[in-house]
Amino acid sequence: MKAARFDADDSTVSIEDVEIPSVSPDEVRVDLRASSLCGSDVHFFHGTLPDPTLNPVTMGHEGAGIVDAIGENVDHVSVGEQVAIHYVHSCGTCKPCLQGYDHRCRHRRHFGDHRHGTFAEFVTIPAENALPVADHVPIEWVSISACAVATPYHGMKRSQLENGDTVVVFGIGGIGLHAVLWANYFGAGEVIAVDIDNRNLAGADEYGADVLVNATEDDPVEVINERTDGWGADVVLECSGSEVAMEEALEAIKGRHRFATGNVVLVGIQDNPIPSIDFMGIREGYLTVSGDHTRNELRQIVSLLEGEKIDLSPSITHRFPLADLQTAVDTLEHGDERVGRIVLDPT
């Protein structure tokens, strides 16, 4: 089968022919029909992530497909079923797992790092990581749900959003786009989208953002204070990973008085040190770094997709065969049009 492999010895990515993986008694093999490109995958091309523990490793952590084979101990999915893939494999027995925080498992193993990932024709996964999805849900939607949709879902739940709150999303890429979706779904009174590219802001508009702010043209903090009568935002999700955006996110909850503070959730990966934080600026507020979603949260999203409660049609803007992975990465980084989520066809 074809697979996109990263070799840490020389920091290269290549499409290679590899063996179709076998299936152990507690595993499921998935015939992948859609594999999505995440911004974190691009770090492989730039060498800005720690080397994977498995080398060489098949890249990718977002994916969905049809069950091709099951181990003898597997009974919750059947051959031929469509499944979502939860990309974090947890032990189920450590303290965080027992508390329901399987995404914080001490022994967690990540697809595309500790295990071979989804940029391939087939992938073998632990059975518990395969979540059945009804056939009427588009397979591409299932694929992007595994990270681009689920990560901001987790972040929004961590934000303590209440009905009627003002929510600001900084960075309208593949993650921030869906943060706008979830802000509206969970009852935000007003959603303000901030980006430096009007094409990305157009995507936020499709998902119902009330105010679009281009940070190269207007001061986001000033706009936020004007829209909130000086109180500042109730909830901010920073999804870009930009140090400047992070500083603005912290300012956005302060309003015009030191007691007027909201909640900031940092979703985007920060490559630089976190700037100094004014204690009085967030003394009544909340600052957290949001990580991976839980398996149960992905199950909840699958349920919403099956019930047709959410519509992901504005999300996917580009499609490429797996063989054109480099072109897909170039498009994500330097495309001339709006880039939402890019889906790879592994077949």
Q: What is the CATH number of the domain that holds 227?
A: 3.40.50.720
pLDDT for the residue numbered 9: 85
Domain boundary at 274, 289, 304, which?
289
Which CATH number do you get for residue 341?
A: 3.90.180.10
In a shared domain, residues 39 and 75: yes
Mean pLDDT, residues 200-223: 97
d(CA 151, CA 344): 20
Rounded (5°) CA angle 179-182-188: 105
Lowest average pLDDT, out of 3-12, 62-71, 212-221, goes to 3-12
Q: In this structure, are 60 and 180 located in the same domain? A: no
Which residues, 6+ apart, have CB-to-CB distance to 273 below 8 Å? none
- pLDDT tens, residue by residue, 66-113: 999 999 999 999 999 999 999 999 999 999 999 989 999 999 999 998
- pTM score: 0.94
Please give the structure tokens belonging to residue 169: 């999303």
Instruction: Work out the mean pLDDT of the chain and round it to a whole number.
Output: 93
What does the pLDDT read at residue 272?
72
Residue 124 bridge partners (DSSP): 29
Q: Where are the alpha helices (DSSP H) in 5-69?
A: 39-46
Sign of CA dihedral 175, 274, 271, 118: negative
Q: Categorize the per-residue pLDDT at 52 as very low, low, confident or very high, splitting at 50, 70 and 90.
A: confident
**Alpha helical stretches, state H, 215-339:** 220-227, 243-252, 295-306, 325-334
189 plus 100 within the same structural domain: no
Q: Are residues 119 and 11 in the same domain?
A: yes
pLDDT at 256: 79
**For the chain, how many structural domains are there in total?**
2
217 and 263 belong to one structural domain: yes
Q: Are residues 75 and 167 in the same domain?
A: no
Instruction: Give mean pLDDT, residues 125-154.
Output: 97
Shared-domain flag, residues 133 and 157: no
Residues 32 and 109 in one domain: yes
- Three-state secondary-structure class, residue 199: helix
Residue 334 lies in a domain: yes
- What the block records as the tokens of 342 is 């890019």
Q: pLDDT at position 275, please?
A: 67
Let me know whether 273 and 195 are in one domain: yes
pLDDT band at 143; cut points 50, 70, 90: very high
Identify whether 306 is part of a domain: no
Residue, of 285 and 118, whose pLDDT is higher:
118
Task: Please check whether residue 295 lies inside any domain of the structure.
Answer: no
- 7 is in which domain, residue-wise? 2-138+312-345
- Bridge partners (DSSP) listed for residue 28: 70, 125
Counting residues of the chain whose pLDDT is more than 70, the rounded percentage is 98
164 is a domain residue: yes
In a domain, 204, yes or no: yes
Is 238 a domain residue?
Answer: yes
Classify residue 118: in a domain, yes or no: yes
Within this chain, do residues 284 and 155 fall inside the same structural domain, yes or no?
Answer: yes
Asked whether residue 240 is assigned to any structural domain, the reply reads yes
* Shared domain check, 162 and 89: no
Contact 86, 60 (CB under 8 A): no
3 state SS of 254: coil
Q: How many residues does the chain have?
A: 347
For residue 123, the surrounding DSSP H or E stretch is: strand 122-126
Pair 92, 162 in one domain: no
For 216, counting Cβ atoms within 10 Å of its Cβ (0-12 exposed, 13-18 middle, 19+ buried), the class is exposed
